[in-house]
Structure 1
Amino acid sequence: MDKLIQADGQPHYGIFPAAPGHINYRDFDFRSPMGRRLGPLAKWRRFHQFQYFGLLGNELIGGCALANLSLVGIGFVYLFHPASGRMIERQFKLPLGLGTSFSQTPDDGVCELRQGRNLLRLQNCTTSGEKRLLVELDDGTRIDAAFSERQPAFQPMCICTPTAVNGWVYAQKVAGVACRGQVRSALGDFDLGQIGAFAHHDWSAGYMRPETNWNWACLSGLAGGLRVGLNLSCGVNETSFSENCFWLDGELIKVDGVRFAFNRDQPLKTWTISSHDGQVELRFEGEGLHEERLNLGFIASNFKQVFGRFSGNLRPSGRAPVSIDGMWGFVEDQYVKW
């Protein structure tokens, strides 16, 4: 599929075997809830895009995100050292996204944020199937991490769902892939390949609900000799189709709807996550979190991303269960108005 938006101005919907070549949102026939056709300014204002790269391993946890919310560009990066409990984190907010650039080609191009001597860059390459994160901060922190979806072969989750009365969301998820590269920081220097780090990647864009919330869970690592990844959500990307899935050695296995049970006021306490079809039964114990609050009236966000360990079972249909025992991963609790 070369383009997500068809000639009639409507998106392709469904779960796709590969990413669209271009998220051509400007060709979308965007209407008000009452059916009035909306112009370029409304298309720009309501279109939002974000990309996330997560690092998971026993010796180092990390996350980096970039978001284009039209009126503001947002970025964050953090590193957590489990052995010492120490953490480095930085946040960036740029009015009107000045200093940012975002490609609308999920498998190719660059999304980046620059502020002073700080750079956050996420680069994707079609020819190699590689996703790369480059972070350079003015305190000397440097992250250069990458993985390939082709060596070994991996099937990403590529999905587009209708959203509310007049929107849509395209999302592309990867988890359970080995990561390579280098990290230099006040927490120490790390060779990601040598420490057995895994990666998670998320590329999402579209016309999301103006006021929404979601929960999300992801894990990546080795279990029973298998490369295991997991991506679950509740509250977004589940109208007609669902992004819920896990991967075993790169093979995508779909999962039904999921329930997140947790204490919103105490996110480091135990979470339980289970799927209606019985394929997922997990507990999550938080070790730390990155959180942000923003309330500008017209834009607001209450965001908690918790990193910690999962335990429980994955039960793929017709196969032996996969036991998860203390595998690192993320959960999120997000409210946003945009």
Structure 2
Amino acid sequence: MQRLIQANGQPHFGLFEQAPDEINYRDFDFRSPMGRPLGRLAKWRRFHQFQYFGLISDQLIGGCALASLSLAGIGFVYLFHPASGRMLEHQFKLPLGFGTDFSQRPNDGICELRSGRNLLRLENRGADKRLLVELRDGTRIDAQFSEAEPAFQPMCLNTPTATNGWVYAQKVAGVRCTGQITSELGEFDLAELGAFAHHDWSAGYMRPETCWNWACLSGQAGALRVGLNLSCGVNETSFTENCFWLDGELLKVDTVRFEFDRDEPLRPWTIRSFDGQVELRFEAHGLHQERMNLGIMASNFKQIFGRFRGELRPHGRPAVSIDNLWGFVEDQYVKW
């Protein structure tokens, strides 16, 4: 598929074997809930895009996100050292997205944020993905992975949202990661750490006020490379983004339920799928959180990292034991 939006102004919906070449949102026939055609300003204001790159190993955990929210460009990066409990965090908020540049080509483009001497960049070149972070405090992250060798099937999905929107999501988890990290926490070679990566490229016309939970893990379970992507609250209209990967093979999962204490998110979480393929318990070790309330825009965001235990039960196959694998959960409220 070359373009997500068809000639009639309507999106392609469903699960795709491969990503569209372009998320051509400007060609979308965007209308109000009452059917009135909306113009270019409304298309720009309501279109949101974000990208996330996560790193997982026993010795180092990291995450970097970029978001283009029309009225603001937002980015964050953090590194967590489990052995010492030390954490480095940096957040950036740029009015109207000045200093940001976002490509609408999921597999052929660059999304980046520049703020003074700080750079966050995510590069997508076909099956190859790269994270480059250079900060004024000397922190440098250069991490990459490939979906080509060994072969990996990303999850590519477009779902309708609310009355008049849609969300395209492209997810990867359970791939080996290479590269170098230099920071106050030390110097790290990701290949030597046996690090894994996960990646999220999402864009579209999301609900103006929404919330979601998300879970992701990547690691080695016995002889299998395992990745997991579960969500509740964004992409459950007609289709779901829920899935896990075994040695790069994509296996779909039904809807999921997150059970946790919103007031105490560092207490254990339980995550179960309706079809019985997922039964997991998550124990937190730390979190990255942000709160923002500007009236017309608001966010209450918690990304929590820790360890998963439980089972994945693919239909017609032996169960896969998940024993202390690192990963993430998320609790997010947003108005945009």
* TM superposition score category, shorter chain reference: over 0.9
SS in 1 for 2:192: coil
Name the residue aligned to 1:280.
Answer: 278
Name the residue aligned to 1:115.
Answer: 115
Amino acid aligned to 1:51: Q
Name the residue aligned to 1:142.
Answer: 140
SS in 1 for 2:141: strand
For 2:187 and 2:18, locate their aligned partners in 1 and report how far apart those are by CA, in whole Å.
Answer: 36
Given candidates 174, 182, 189, the residue that maps to 1:184 is 182
Name the residue aligned to 1:263.
Answer: 261
Name the residue aligned to 1:6.
Answer: 6
For 1:91 and 1:267, locate their aligned partners in 2 and report how far apart those are by CA, in whole Å.
Answer: 21
Name the residue aligned to 2:230.
Answer: 232
* Within-5 A mapping of 1:156-171: 156-171=154-169
SS in 1 for 2:79: strand
Name the residue aligned to 1:64.
Answer: 64
Q: CA RMSD in A?
A: 0.3
Amino acid aligned to 2:36: R
Listed as ranges, the gaps of 5+ residues in structure 1 are none
Q: Which deviations, in whole Å up to 9, do the C-alpha atoms of 1:109-143 show, x marking residues without a partner?
A: 100000010000000002xx100000000000000
Amino acid aligned to 2:262: R
Please report how far the alpha carbon of residue 278 of structure 1 lies from its aligned counterpart in structure 2 after TM superposition.
0.4
For 2:113 and 2:64, locate their aligned partners in 1 and report how far apart those are by CA, in whole Å.
Answer: 11
Please report how far the alpha carbon of residue 222 of structure 1 lies from its aligned counterpart in structure 2 after TM superposition.
0.1
For 2:139 and 2:110, locate their aligned partners in 1 and report how far apart those are by CA, in whole Å.
Answer: 21
Name the residue aligned to 2:73.
Answer: 73
Please report how far the alpha carbon of residue 29 of structure 1 lies from its aligned counterpart in structure 2 after TM superposition.
0.1
For 1:178 and 1:237, locate their aligned partners in 2 and report how far apart those are by CA, in whole Å.
Answer: 26
Please report how far the alpha carbon of residue 262 of structure 1 lies from its aligned counterpart in structure 2 after TM superposition.
0.1
Name the residue aligned to 1:310.
Answer: 308
For 2:238 and 2:329, locate their aligned partners in 1 and report how far apart those are by CA, in whole Å.
Answer: 23
Please report how far the alpha carbon of residue 224 of structure 1 lies from its aligned counterpart in structure 2 after TM superposition.
1.5
Please report how far the alpha carbon of residue 103 of structure 1 lies from its aligned counterpart in structure 2 after TM superposition.
0.2
Q: Which deviations, in whole Å up to 9, do the C-alpha atoms of 1:54-102 show, x marking residues without a partner?
A: 0000000000000000000000000000000000000000000000000
For 2:116 and 2:286, locate their aligned partners in 1 and report how far apart those are by CA, in whole Å.
Answer: 28
Amino acid aligned to 1:337: K
SS in 2 for 1:41: helix
Name the residue aligned to 1:215.
Answer: 213
Name the residue aligned to 1:103.
Answer: 103
For 1:121 and 1:108, locate their aligned partners in 2 and report how far apart those are by CA, in whole Å.
Answer: 14
For 1:131 and 1:266, locate their aligned partners in 2 and report how far apart those are by CA, in whole Å.
Answer: 35
Amino acid aligned to 2:13: Y
For 1:268 and 1:193, locate their aligned partners in 2 and report how far apart those are by CA, in whole Å.
Answer: 30
Given candidates 125, 129, 132, the residue that maps to 1:131 is 129
Aligned residues with identical type, % of pairs = 78
Q: Is 1:173 aligned to residue 171 of structure 2?
A: yes
SS in 2 for 1:203: strand
Q: Which deviations, in whole Å up to 9, do the C-alpha atoms of 1:143-189 show, x marking residues without a partner?
A: 00000000100000000000000000000000000000000000010
Amino acid aligned to 1:290: H
Q: Is 1:152 aligned to residue 150 of structure 2?
A: yes
Q: Is 1:198 aligned to residue 196 of structure 2?
A: yes
SS in 1 for 2:284: strand
Listed as ranges, the gaps of 5+ residues in structure 2 are none
SS in 1 for 2:193: coil
Amino acid aligned to 2:273: S
Q: Which deviations, in whole Å up to 9, do the C-alpha atoms of 1:193-251 show, x marking residues without a partner?
A: 01000001000000000000000000000001100000000001110000000000000
Amino acid aligned to 1:300: A
For 1:108 and 1:293, locate their aligned partners in 2 and report how far apart those are by CA, in whole Å.
Answer: 32
Please report how far the alpha carbon of residue 41 of structure 1 lies from its aligned counterpart in structure 2 after TM superposition.
0.2
Runs of 4+ in 1 over 2 A off after TM superposition: none
* Within-5 A mapping of 1:314-329: 314-329=312-327
Q: Is 1:301 aligned to residue 299 of structure 2?
A: yes
